[in-house]
Structure 1
Amino acid sequence: MTLDALLKYEFLSNTLGQYLVAALILLIGAVFRRLFSRLLSKLLFALTKRYTGGVSEEELSALLIQPLSTLLLVVTLQLAGATLTYPHGPTAVAAGGQLPWHEVLLLRLLALAFIVAAVRVALCLIDFGLLVTSRRAALREQGSPSRLSNQFLPFAKDLLKVFFIIIAGLVALGHVFNVNVTALVGGLGIGGLAVAFAAKESLENLIASFTIFLDQPFGVGDLVTAGPVTGTVEKIGFRSTRLRTAEKSYLTVPNKSMIDKPLDNLSLRTSRRVGFTLTFDQATTSAQLHAIIAGSLAALQDHPLVSQAAQMKFSALTPAGKEVTVEYFVDTTSYDEYLNVKEDLNYRLVEVVEREGGLFAGAPAPVAVAAPKV
């Protein structure tokens, strides 16, 4: 048998030459798809290099190599499949030339795989765009992105991804499952009221997220208190805000709950208040109290992080003792620094009381030790 006759040998409605062409396409796709992916990413980087704002080619390749490789694999399978003729059988001919179910299923799966792979590439390009935008914003703002950049860019990324996924879903319904998309969208207008009632809470949280971005009562990195919840904002999403609590737990709070009750942005306060009461023993004299208060105020006002509005007053005389209220403000927004200042000043107050011979209520009086007889 000659080579030409061998290539024209037919099996399952396809010649051996068709099978060889399909196998060659699959082989080329399997061997070179990662190389093609890398070349495509290099080409894209070369086209956008002047706008990338310091993003390296390696970062782009890390984002695009895998999804591009998958997309090229799907295209390779479609090209290889296009070279083959599928046997229809007598039932298909009797049914008026309709394709058999297994061929329809295969074609729909390939089309769906292509849409999914293309969407993955689009989502990776969105991630790349966000990375470029954030780097450029950091360069403009000298390495310190603004609160708006920190919270708006991730939100915009999620919004674009949802938009692309919705578009891809509509395309899949129309081209893969033969759904009349126009009629479907029109039907959504009729049933929109029912959908709105069913998704009432989700819509409220979505509207609340836009309110947060427009009004900006807090941003990523702020320490906030909303009702019984206190934590540092790590992410603001479509539906919820993610907080890191003092116990280091990751708390998810619906956006509606962040704006429908009084919210205290602790990061925006200029100082932290310290207030407490000291109770001295009845044996502490008025002269000692005057000296203790004067010395303590001097110690408080001498600290560089304490405002000059520090107060210390002899506020009450009770059976338990003589009460002196202390109030001052620490000029810091850092909780750790606030604790350090508070501890340092507590030591200073105790030293003043000990130096002036004062006694706290409930403290045992010093015992006089008799001198030994000679």
Structure 2
Amino acid sequence: MTLPPFLSYEILGNTLSQYLVAALIILAGGVFRRLLSRLLSKLLFSFAKRYAAGVSVEELHSLLIQPLSTLLLLVTLQIAGATLTYPHSLLARPGQIPWHEVLLGRLLALGFIIAAARVALRLVDFALLVMHRRALLRSQIGPTRLDNQFLPFAKDLLKVLLIIIALLVALGQVFGVNVTALIGGLGIGGLAVAFAAKESLENLIASFTIFLDQPFGVGDLVTAGDVSGTVEKIGFRSTRLRTAEKSYVTVPNKSMIDKPLDNLSLRTSRRVGFTLIFDQKTTSAQLHAIIAGAVAGIKAHPLVTQDVQMKFSALTLAGKEVTVQYFVETTSYDDYLNVKEDLNYCIVEVVEREGGNLAGAPVPVVAASGA
């Protein structure tokens, strides 16, 4: 079939027929990209329903289909660009590739590597999401401590490895760097790099120590040095804590294992201790009755251990001191506060029933002066 004469008209070294072919490839690629995205959505969603119950279509689309569409778009542009001839400069030497063609080729290659790396990173996100949802279905009470700690750690580790691989590929394919020689050169300068990144390496090693030894996990209430809070994430370099003031504190992993660490969530019970001061008008009979009634009320609480102590410990000018100590069998701070409140009301009711009087602020004693 003979093409119309106007299609042979040249613009910037290419005929109109070449531009038309490139435009048709881009158009066909756009249509194919939409069809392939829908097909992949159905195939992947059927897989997700079979092996990863709980993963929605929206999550699947945002994680995988969008980066795959970008990758297909770049492939379409590269195929369409291969049908065109780049105009050569009059100053270019024979056989020399024009600089703008080299630049465009490298930009497309870099975009292709970035898009492929993005797809690989989203695949890691999708795989970890599937594992997390399977952990939720496997346990009625939610993911285990190992799931909460291992899955984010594995996710970060895989992403770092993929980014390093993509960076090395980009250096070799786009910028023409000899990757083998570069890696060999790192062995020569490894000592300098190790000294420069000493703290980062220490924190990385500490993260592996935390993962293997498991002194704490995600969700635990810990105190490390002067910082106390609930562990929300354990990363490569640092551990993130949510304090009681709802602030977000980042602590280097090295500090988490070098300093004495108190895992408050592993306590079998929480201690309550305080001192009551009765005025001098409270009689010994009233004190006996108050102590006996309060101890009985405290022991009757279902979350209190039986080692309850309430003793008449001191007789001072301020009044008669009675120390109170008991343990609440709970790891929940809210339950601990509720038990304290209930038993404080119980003690106040016993004191009121027996007619005791709690002392106010101590009155300073002033020595009498001579006449």
What's the TM-score once normalised by structure 2's chain length? 0.92
Equivalent residue runs for 1:113-124 within 5 Å = 113-124=111-122
Equivalent residue runs for 1:1-374 within 5 Å = 3-46=3-46, 50-92=50-92, 94=93, 96-142=94-140, 144-362=142-360
- Separation in structure 2 between the aligned mates of residue 302 and residue 47 of structure 1, nearest angstrom: 55
Matched-pair contact (CA < 8 Å) for 2:48–2:55: no
User: Residue 38 of structure 2 aligns to a residue in which SS?
Assistant: helix
- Separation in structure 2 between the aligned mates of residue 43 and residue 340 of structure 1, nearest angstrom: 52
Q: Which runs of 5+ in 2 are unaligned?
A: 363-371
User: Residue 228 of structure 2 aligns to a residue in which SS?
Assistant: strand
- Separation in structure 1 between the aligned mates of residue 193 and residue 174 of structure 2, nearest angstrom: 25
Please tell me the residue identity of whatever aligns with 1:262.
P
**How far apart are residue 115 of structure 1 and its match?**
0.5
User: Residue 300 of structure 1 aligns to a residue in which SS?
Assistant: helix
- With 204-213 and 343-352 compared, the bigger mean Cα shift is at 343-352
**How far apart are residue 36 of structure 1 and its match?**
2.3
- Separation in structure 2 between the aligned mates of residue 145 and residue 47 of structure 1, nearest angstrom: 22
Please tell me the residue identity of whatever aligns with 1:129.
A
**How far apart are residue 272 of structure 1 and its match?**
0.9
User: Residue 323 of structure 1 aligns to a residue in which SS?
Assistant: strand
**How far apart are residue 289 of structure 1 and its match?**
1.1
- Separation in structure 1 between the aligned mates of residue 284 and residue 64 of structure 2, nearest angstrom: 78
Please tell me the residue identity of whatever aligns with 1:196.
A
- Separation in structure 2 between the aligned mates of residue 11 and residue 119 of structure 1, nearest angstrom: 36
Matched-pair contact (CA < 8 Å) for 1:64–1:125: yes
User: Residue 233 of structure 2 aligns to a residue in which SS?
Assistant: strand
- Separation in structure 2 between the aligned mates of residue 98 and residue 335 of structure 1, nearest angstrom: 74
Return closer, same or farther for 1:363/1:85 CA change in 2, 3 Å cut-off: closer
- Separation in structure 1 between the aligned mates of residue 240 and residue 18 of structure 2, nearest angstrom: 57
**How far apart are residue 46 of structure 1 and its match?**
4.6
- Separation in structure 2 between the aligned mates of residue 33 and residue 209 of structure 1, nearest angstrom: 42
Post-superposition CA distance 1:285-340 (Å, at most 9, x none): 11111111111111111111111101101111112111111000111111111111
- Separation in structure 2 between the aligned mates of residue 142 and residue 300 of structure 1, nearest angstrom: 34
User: Residue 221 of structure 1 aligns to a residue in which SS?
Assistant: coil
Give the count of matched residue pairs.
Answer: 361
- Separation in structure 1 between the aligned mates of residue 49 and residue 191 of structure 2, nearest angstrom: 47
Please tell me the residue identity of whatever aligns with 1:325.
T
- Separation in structure 1 between the aligned mates of residue 127 and residue 225 of structure 2, nearest angstrom: 37
- Separation in structure 1 between the aligned mates of residue 47 and residue 245 of structure 2, nearest angstrom: 47
What's the TM-score once normalised by structure 1's chain length? 0.92
Post-superposition CA distance 1:91-111 (Å, at most 9, x none): 32x2x5121111111000000
Matched-pair contact (CA < 8 Å) for 1:78–1:110: yes
User: Quick one: percent identity of the two aligned structures?
Assistant: 81
Return closer, same or farther for 1:7/1:337 CA change in 2, 3 Å cut-off: same
- Separation in structure 1 between the aligned mates of residue 98 and residue 312 of structure 2, nearest angstrom: 96
Matched-pair contact (CA < 8 Å) for 2:220–2:264: yes
User: Residue 249 of structure 2 aligns to a residue in which SS?
Assistant: strand
Matched-pair contact (CA < 8 Å) for 2:88–2:98: yes
**How far apart are residue 16 of structure 1 and its match?**
1.5
User: Residue 243 of structure 1 aligns to a residue in which SS?
Assistant: strand
- Separation in structure 1 between the aligned mates of residue 47 and residue 301 of structure 2, nearest angstrom: 58
- With 193-202 and 354-363 compared, the bigger mean Cα shift is at 354-363
**How far apart are residue 14 of structure 1 and its match?**
1.5
Q: Which runs of 5+ in 1 are unaligned?
A: 365-374
User: Residue 91 of structure 1 aligns to a residue in which SS?
Assistant: coil
